[in-house]
Amino acid sequence: MAGKNLKCMACGSKVAAELQNLFDTRFGIDNVWNICRCVDCGMEQTCPLPSPGELKKLYEEYYNFGGEKGTRYTRLRERFLTSSLYRIWLGMDGDVSFHKKQGSGRLLDIGCNEGRGLKIYQRNGFEAEGLEPNEKASAVACEHGFKVHTEPLEQFKPARPYDVCVLSNVLEHSLDPKQMLSHVRRILKPGGQIWVSCPNSQSRLRFLFGRYWINWHVPFHITHFSEKTLRYVLEDSGFAIERTKNITPGLWVAHSILSFLFARPGSVNRCLRSPLLVASLMLVIRFVFFPILWLGNLSGRGDCLVVVGKKSADYADYTD
Ligand SMILES: [Zn+2]
Protein backbone atom coordinates (compact mmCIF):
# COMPACT_ATOMS: atom_id res chain seq x y z
CA MET A 1 0.00 0.00 0.00
CA ALA A 2 1.46 3.30 -0.99
CA GLY A 3 1.00 6.61 0.75
CA LYS A 4 1.55 7.64 4.30
CA ASN A 5 -0.89 9.43 6.49
CA LEU A 6 1.26 10.83 9.20
CA LYS A 7 -1.09 13.77 9.72
CA CYS A 8 -4.55 13.84 11.23
CA MET A 9 -7.27 14.32 8.63
CA ALA A 10 -9.31 16.42 11.05
CA CYS A 11 -6.78 18.87 12.51
CA GLY A 12 -3.43 18.24 10.75
CA SER A 13 -1.54 17.23 13.92
CA LYS A 14 0.70 14.18 14.31
CA VAL A 15 -0.73 10.69 14.71
CA ALA A 16 0.66 7.73 16.65
CA ALA A 17 -0.03 3.99 16.28
CA GLU A 18 -2.84 2.81 18.56
CA LEU A 19 -3.65 -0.72 17.32
CA GLN A 20 -1.38 -2.77 15.10
CA ASN A 21 -1.70 -5.61 12.60
CA LEU A 22 -5.41 -5.49 11.87
CA PHE A 23 -6.55 -7.65 9.00
CA ASP A 24 -9.63 -7.65 6.79
CA THR A 25 -12.10 -9.91 8.65
CA ARG A 26 -14.68 -9.95 5.82
CA PHE A 27 -13.23 -10.51 2.38
CA GLY A 28 -9.81 -11.89 3.31
CA ILE A 29 -7.69 -9.21 1.65
CA ASP A 30 -4.15 -10.39 2.34
CA ASN A 31 -2.56 -7.42 4.12
CA VAL A 32 -2.37 -5.75 7.52
CA TRP A 33 -3.08 -2.20 8.65
CA ASN A 34 -2.71 -0.14 11.81
CA ILE A 35 -5.07 2.27 13.51
CA CYS A 36 -3.40 5.57 14.36
CA ARG A 37 -4.69 8.20 16.74
CA CYS A 38 -4.19 11.96 16.57
CA VAL A 39 -2.18 13.25 19.53
CA ASP A 40 -4.29 16.44 19.63
CA CYS A 41 -7.93 15.84 18.67
CA GLY A 42 -8.04 12.06 19.17
CA MET A 43 -9.33 11.23 15.68
CA GLU A 44 -8.40 7.70 14.60
CA GLN A 45 -7.56 6.66 11.06
CA THR A 46 -6.36 3.64 9.13
CA CYS A 47 -2.61 3.54 8.37
CA PRO A 48 -1.19 3.38 5.82
CA LEU A 49 -3.82 5.02 3.67
CA PRO A 50 -4.64 3.27 0.42
CA SER A 51 -4.15 5.58 -2.57
CA PRO A 52 -7.32 6.59 -4.48
CA GLY A 53 -6.34 4.17 -7.28
CA GLU A 54 -5.79 1.26 -4.87
CA LEU A 55 -9.09 1.96 -3.15
CA LYS A 56 -10.97 2.05 -6.47
CA LYS A 57 -9.51 -1.36 -7.41
CA LEU A 58 -10.39 -2.81 -4.00
CA TYR A 59 -14.03 -1.64 -4.31
CA GLU A 60 -14.30 -3.10 -7.81
CA GLU A 61 -12.90 -6.41 -6.65
CA TYR A 62 -14.66 -6.85 -3.31
CA TYR A 63 -17.92 -4.87 -3.42
CA ASN A 64 -20.17 -6.66 -5.91
CA PHE A 65 -22.63 -3.85 -6.56
CA GLY A 66 -25.58 -4.88 -8.64
CA GLY A 67 -24.29 -8.42 -8.87
CA GLU A 68 -27.30 -10.09 -7.28
CA LYS A 69 -30.72 -9.55 -8.83
CA GLY A 70 -33.97 -11.48 -8.84
CA THR A 71 -32.75 -14.22 -6.48
CA ARG A 72 -34.86 -15.64 -3.67
CA TYR A 73 -32.72 -13.75 -1.17
CA THR A 74 -33.09 -10.36 -2.94
CA ARG A 75 -36.86 -10.86 -3.35
CA LEU A 76 -37.21 -11.67 0.36
CA ARG A 77 -35.09 -8.65 1.31
CA GLU A 78 -37.22 -6.40 -0.94
CA ARG A 79 -40.45 -7.65 0.62
CA PHE A 80 -39.04 -7.25 4.14
CA LEU A 81 -37.86 -3.66 3.55
CA THR A 82 -41.28 -2.58 2.27
CA SER A 83 -43.24 -4.40 5.00
CA SER A 84 -44.60 -3.13 8.29
CA LEU A 85 -42.44 -5.80 9.95
CA TYR A 86 -39.38 -3.76 8.90
CA ARG A 87 -40.78 -0.65 10.59
CA ILE A 88 -41.40 -2.65 13.77
CA TRP A 89 -37.83 -4.03 13.58
CA LEU A 90 -36.42 -0.48 13.15
CA GLY A 91 -38.40 0.60 16.20
CA MET A 92 -36.74 -2.13 18.30
CA ASP A 93 -33.28 -2.40 16.79
CA GLY A 94 -32.68 1.26 15.86
CA ASP A 95 -32.67 3.16 12.60
CA VAL A 96 -29.07 3.80 11.47
CA SER A 97 -30.10 4.75 7.92
CA PHE A 98 -32.84 7.33 8.68
CA HIS A 99 -35.52 5.04 7.23
CA LYS A 100 -38.14 6.14 9.77
CA LYS A 101 -37.85 9.87 9.16
CA GLN A 102 -40.90 11.39 7.49
CA GLY A 103 -40.72 14.77 5.76
CA SER A 104 -40.73 16.59 2.46
CA GLY A 105 -38.41 18.42 0.09
CA ARG A 106 -35.43 17.44 -2.01
CA LEU A 107 -33.23 14.72 -0.50
CA LEU A 108 -29.90 13.44 -1.85
CA ASP A 109 -28.69 10.03 -0.65
CA ILE A 110 -24.91 10.22 -1.08
CA GLY A 111 -23.45 6.77 -1.75
CA CYS A 112 -26.93 5.37 -2.42
CA ASN A 113 -25.60 2.05 -3.80
CA GLU A 114 -28.43 0.22 -5.52
CA GLY A 115 -31.08 2.66 -4.30
CA ARG A 116 -32.77 0.58 -1.60
CA GLY A 117 -32.87 3.64 0.68
CA LEU A 118 -34.27 5.86 -2.10
CA LYS A 119 -37.52 3.88 -2.21
CA ILE A 120 -37.94 4.29 1.54
CA TYR A 121 -37.15 8.05 1.55
CA GLN A 122 -39.61 8.52 -1.32
CA ARG A 123 -42.30 6.60 0.55
CA ASN A 124 -41.62 8.80 3.60
CA GLY A 125 -42.48 11.93 1.62
CA PHE A 126 -39.18 13.10 0.15
CA GLU A 127 -38.29 13.85 -3.44
CA ALA A 128 -35.35 11.42 -3.34
CA GLU A 129 -32.31 11.37 -5.62
CA GLY A 130 -29.04 9.49 -5.31
CA LEU A 131 -25.36 10.08 -5.90
CA GLU A 132 -23.41 6.94 -6.67
CA PRO A 133 -20.14 6.99 -8.65
CA ASN A 134 -20.20 3.19 -9.04
CA GLU A 135 -22.00 2.82 -12.37
CA LYS A 136 -23.13 -0.78 -11.85
CA ALA A 137 -24.85 0.14 -8.60
CA SER A 138 -26.33 3.39 -9.94
CA ALA A 139 -27.71 1.55 -13.01
CA VAL A 140 -29.74 -0.70 -10.67
CA ALA A 141 -31.16 2.36 -8.86
CA CYS A 142 -32.02 3.98 -12.23
CA GLU A 143 -33.87 0.82 -13.32
CA HIS A 144 -36.22 1.49 -10.40
CA GLY A 145 -36.99 4.95 -11.78
CA PHE A 146 -34.73 7.09 -9.60
CA LYS A 147 -32.55 9.97 -10.70
CA VAL A 148 -29.02 8.94 -9.75
CA HIS A 149 -26.01 11.17 -10.38
CA THR A 150 -22.74 9.38 -11.07
CA GLU A 151 -20.17 12.16 -10.95
CA PRO A 152 -17.90 12.46 -7.90
CA LEU A 153 -19.39 14.72 -5.22
CA GLU A 154 -16.68 17.34 -5.72
CA GLN A 155 -17.69 17.74 -9.40
CA PHE A 156 -21.43 17.52 -8.80
CA LYS A 157 -23.34 20.71 -9.62
CA PRO A 158 -27.07 20.17 -9.05
CA ALA A 159 -29.56 22.44 -10.82
CA ARG A 160 -31.21 23.20 -7.47
CA PRO A 161 -29.84 22.77 -3.93
CA TYR A 162 -31.15 20.10 -1.57
CA ASP A 163 -33.12 20.28 1.67
CA VAL A 164 -31.44 17.15 3.04
CA CYS A 165 -28.20 15.27 2.29
CA VAL A 166 -27.84 11.77 3.74
CA LEU A 167 -24.45 10.20 4.53
CA SER A 168 -25.52 6.84 5.91
CA ASN A 169 -22.34 4.93 6.78
CA VAL A 170 -20.43 6.77 4.07
CA LEU A 171 -18.27 9.48 5.68
CA GLU A 172 -15.87 6.96 7.23
CA HIS A 173 -15.08 5.63 3.73
CA SER A 174 -13.83 9.00 2.49
CA LEU A 175 -10.13 9.74 1.96
CA ASP A 176 -10.91 13.37 2.80
CA PRO A 177 -13.96 13.68 5.07
CA LYS A 178 -13.64 17.43 5.53
CA GLN A 179 -13.59 18.01 1.79
CA MET A 180 -16.63 15.74 1.47
CA LEU A 181 -18.50 17.77 4.10
CA SER A 182 -17.58 21.07 2.46
CA HIS A 183 -19.16 19.85 -0.78
CA VAL A 184 -22.27 18.63 1.06
CA ARG A 185 -22.54 22.15 2.48
CA ARG A 186 -22.18 23.61 -1.02
CA ILE A 187 -25.13 21.66 -2.44
CA LEU A 188 -27.49 22.26 0.52
CA LYS A 189 -30.06 25.05 0.75
CA PRO A 190 -29.53 27.64 3.49
CA GLY A 191 -30.61 25.89 6.69
CA GLY A 192 -30.58 22.49 4.94
CA GLN A 193 -29.94 19.36 6.97
CA ILE A 194 -27.19 16.76 6.92
CA TRP A 195 -27.98 13.31 8.30
CA VAL A 196 -24.87 11.33 9.21
CA SER A 197 -24.41 7.87 10.63
CA CYS A 198 -21.12 6.05 11.14
CA PRO A 199 -19.50 3.57 13.54
CA ASN A 200 -18.57 4.88 16.99
CA SER A 201 -14.86 4.25 17.62
CA GLN A 202 -15.48 4.57 21.37
CA SER A 203 -18.14 1.85 21.46
CA ARG A 204 -18.02 -0.88 24.09
CA LEU A 205 -17.87 -3.47 21.34
CA ARG A 206 -14.65 -1.95 19.97
CA PHE A 207 -12.97 -2.64 23.31
CA LEU A 208 -14.66 -6.03 23.72
CA PHE A 209 -13.71 -7.38 20.28
CA GLY A 210 -10.39 -5.54 19.83
CA ARG A 211 -8.96 -5.98 16.36
CA TYR A 212 -11.92 -8.23 15.42
CA TRP A 213 -14.46 -5.39 15.84
CA ILE A 214 -16.38 -5.51 12.57
CA ASN A 215 -16.36 -1.75 12.12
CA TRP A 216 -12.61 -1.38 11.68
CA HIS A 217 -13.41 -2.72 8.21
CA VAL A 218 -9.86 -2.04 6.99
CA PRO A 219 -8.92 -0.80 4.45
CA PHE A 220 -12.38 0.49 3.41
CA HIS A 221 -13.02 2.49 6.59
CA ILE A 222 -10.46 5.27 6.51
CA THR A 223 -11.52 7.38 9.49
CA HIS A 224 -12.89 6.08 12.79
CA PHE A 225 -15.02 8.75 14.45
CA SER A 226 -15.95 9.15 18.09
CA GLU A 227 -18.85 11.42 19.04
CA LYS A 228 -16.30 14.12 19.86
CA THR A 229 -14.30 13.90 16.60
CA LEU A 230 -17.44 13.64 14.45
CA ARG A 231 -18.85 16.73 16.13
CA TYR A 232 -15.52 18.49 15.61
CA VAL A 233 -15.30 17.81 11.84
CA LEU A 234 -18.98 18.68 11.31
CA GLU A 235 -18.74 21.99 13.19
CA ASP A 236 -15.42 22.79 11.53
CA SER A 237 -17.08 22.19 8.13
CA GLY A 238 -19.94 24.62 8.72
CA PHE A 239 -22.65 22.53 10.37
CA ALA A 240 -24.46 23.05 13.67
CA ILE A 241 -25.33 19.82 15.48
CA GLU A 242 -29.04 19.48 16.17
CA ARG A 243 -29.32 15.94 17.54
CA THR A 244 -27.00 13.01 18.30
CA LYS A 245 -27.90 9.49 19.26
CA ASN A 246 -26.19 6.13 19.77
CA ILE A 247 -27.61 2.92 18.31
CA THR A 248 -26.28 -0.63 18.45
CA PRO A 249 -27.82 -2.64 15.59
CA GLY A 250 -28.18 -6.37 16.17
CA LEU A 251 -26.61 -6.97 12.76
CA TRP A 252 -23.39 -5.20 13.74
CA VAL A 253 -23.11 -7.17 17.00
CA ALA A 254 -23.73 -10.43 15.10
CA HIS A 255 -21.03 -9.50 12.58
CA SER A 256 -18.49 -8.70 15.33
CA ILE A 257 -19.17 -12.08 16.97
CA LEU A 258 -18.77 -13.90 13.63
CA SER A 259 -15.61 -11.92 12.92
CA PHE A 260 -14.16 -12.87 16.31
CA LEU A 261 -15.06 -16.56 15.94
CA PHE A 262 -14.33 -17.22 12.29
CA ALA A 263 -12.14 -14.56 10.66
CA ARG A 264 -8.72 -15.76 9.52
CA PRO A 265 -6.13 -13.61 7.75
CA GLY A 266 -6.33 -14.07 3.99
CA SER A 267 -9.62 -16.07 4.06
CA VAL A 268 -13.14 -15.02 3.12
CA ASN A 269 -15.39 -15.09 6.19
CA ARG A 270 -18.37 -16.93 4.66
CA CYS A 271 -20.33 -17.01 7.94
CA LEU A 272 -21.04 -13.28 7.53
CA ARG A 273 -23.07 -14.11 4.40
CA SER A 274 -25.16 -16.86 5.95
CA PRO A 275 -28.66 -15.30 6.29
CA LEU A 276 -29.89 -18.00 8.72
CA LEU A 277 -26.88 -17.76 11.04
CA VAL A 278 -26.81 -13.94 11.00
CA ALA A 279 -30.59 -13.59 11.50
CA SER A 280 -30.63 -16.10 14.40
CA LEU A 281 -27.77 -14.31 16.13
CA MET A 282 -29.46 -10.93 15.60
CA LEU A 283 -32.66 -12.17 17.25
CA VAL A 284 -30.79 -13.62 20.25
CA ILE A 285 -28.82 -10.38 20.65
CA ARG A 286 -31.89 -8.18 20.34
CA PHE A 287 -34.11 -10.10 22.73
CA VAL A 288 -31.56 -11.40 25.28
CA PHE A 289 -28.90 -8.70 25.46
CA PHE A 290 -31.09 -5.62 24.93
CA PRO A 291 -30.53 -4.14 28.45
CA ILE A 292 -26.73 -4.15 27.92
CA LEU A 293 -27.04 -2.59 24.46
CA TRP A 294 -29.54 -0.03 25.70
CA LEU A 295 -27.24 1.03 28.56
CA GLY A 296 -24.29 1.23 26.14
CA ASN A 297 -26.30 3.53 23.87
CA LEU A 298 -27.36 5.76 26.77
CA SER A 299 -23.78 6.15 27.99
CA GLY A 300 -22.49 7.15 24.53
CA ARG A 301 -20.80 3.76 24.02
CA GLY A 302 -23.17 2.39 21.38
CA ASP A 303 -21.82 1.00 18.11
CA CYS A 304 -23.26 3.59 15.72
CA LEU A 305 -23.36 7.39 15.90
CA VAL A 306 -26.41 9.03 14.38
CA VAL A 307 -26.26 12.79 13.96
CA VAL A 308 -28.56 15.40 12.46
CA GLY A 309 -26.85 18.70 11.62
CA LYS A 310 -27.90 21.92 9.98
CA LYS A 311 -25.99 24.15 7.54
CA SER A 312 -24.77 27.05 9.69
CA ALA A 313 -25.45 30.57 8.48
CA ASP A 314 -22.38 32.11 10.17
CA TYR A 315 -19.63 30.29 8.31
CA ALA A 316 -17.28 31.57 5.62
CA ASP A 317 -17.56 29.22 2.62
CA TYR A 318 -14.60 28.57 0.39
CA THR A 319 -14.97 30.00 -3.07
CA ASP A 320 -13.41 28.51 -6.24
ZN1 LIG B 1 -6.38 15.66 14.99
CATH number at 40 reads 3.40.50.150
The pLDDT > 70 percentage for the chain reads 95
Query: Distance between CA 217 and CA 28 in Å, rounded?
Result: 11
Q: Is 316 part of any domain?
A: no
Mean pLDDT of 186-211: 97
- d(C-alpha 129, C-alpha 148), whole Å: 6
Helix or strand or coil: residue 257?
helix
Q: How far is the CA of 71 from the centre of ligand 1 (A)?
A: 45
- Measured in Å, residue 320 CA sits from the centre of ligand 1 at 26
Q: Is residue 242 part of a domain?
A: yes
- Separation of 44 CA from ligand 1 center, angstroms? 8
At residue 5, does pLDDT exceed 80? no
- What is the Å distance from ligand 1's center to 171 Cα? 16
Residue type, 118: L
The CA 168 to ligand 1 mean position distance, Å, reads 23
Question: Cα of 3 to ligand 1 centre, how many Å?
Answer: 18
Q: How far is the CA of 236 from the centre of ligand 1 (A)?
A: 12
| pLDDT of 167 above 60 | yes
- Long-range interactions of 13-19: CB distance < 8 A, separation 24+: 13/38, 13/39, 13/40, 13/41, 14/38, 14/39, 14/40, 15/39, 15/45, 15/47, 17/47, 18/44, 19/210, 19/211
Q: What is the mean pLDDT of the chain?
A: 92
Distance 173 CA to ligand 1 centre (A): 17
Stated pTM of the model: 0.93
Contact 142, 129 (CB under 8 A): no
CA of 292 from ligand 1 middle (Å) equals 31
Q: How confident is the model at residue 1 (pLDDT cuts 50, 70, 90)?
A: very low
- For residue 176, the CA-to-ligand 1 centroid distance in Å is 13
CA of 63 to the centre of ligand 1 (A): 30
Ligand 1: centre distance to CA 223 (Å) = 11
- Whether residue 209 is contained in a domain is answered as yes
CB-CB contact of 89 with 251 (8 Å):
no
Residue 205 alpha carbon to ligand 1 centre in Å:
23
Q: Compute, in angstroms, the gap from residue 45 CA to the centroid of ligand 1.
A: 10
Separation of CA 13 and ligand 1 centre (Å): 5
Q: What is the pLDDT of residues 60-119, one digit of tens each?
A: 888 866 556 667 767 777 788 888 888 888 888 999 999 999 999 999 999 999 898 999
d(CA 144, ligand 1 centre) in Å: 42
d(CA 5, CA 260): 28
Domain span holding position 138? 15-311
Q: How far apart are CA 316 and CA 237, in angstroms?
A: 10
Q: Indicate the pLDDT class of residue 24, thresholds 50, 70 and 90.
A: very high
The closest of 76, 88, 163, 77 to 113, measured between CA atoms, is: 77
In a domain, 320, yes or no: no
Asked whether residue 4 carries a pLDDT value surpassing 60, the answer given is no
Residue 66 lies in a domain: yes
Residue 197 placed within a domain:
yes
CA 270 to chain CA mean position, Å: 22
pLDDT at 3: 41
Give pLDDT tens digits for 34-59.
999 999 999 999 999 999 999 989 98
Give mean pLDDT, residues 206-228.
97
- Dihedral sign (CA 73, 79, 82, 85): negative
What's the whole-number mean pLDDT along residues 211-229? 97
Q: What is the pLDDT of residues 131-166, one digit of tens each?
A: 999 888 899 899 989 999 999 999 999 999 999 999
Residue 231 C-alpha to ligand 1 middle, in angstroms?
13
Q: Kindly give the distance from the C-alpha atom of residue 69 to the centroid of ligand 1, in angstroms, as a whole number.
A: 42
- Kindly give the distance from the C-alpha atom of residue 185 to the centroid of ligand 1, in angstroms, as a whole number: 21
- Domains held by the chain: number: 1
- Rounded to the nearest angstrom, the distance between the alpha carbon of 47 and the centre of ligand 1 is 14
What is the 239 CA–ligand 1 centroid distance (Å)?
Answer: 18
Whole-number pLDDT of residue 60: 85
Is residue 318, in this structure, part of any structural domain at all? no
For 242-263, the pLDDT digits (tens) are: 999 999 999 999 999 999 999 9
* Ligand 1 centroid distance, CA of 9 (Å): 7
On whether residue 27 sits in a domain, the answer given is yes
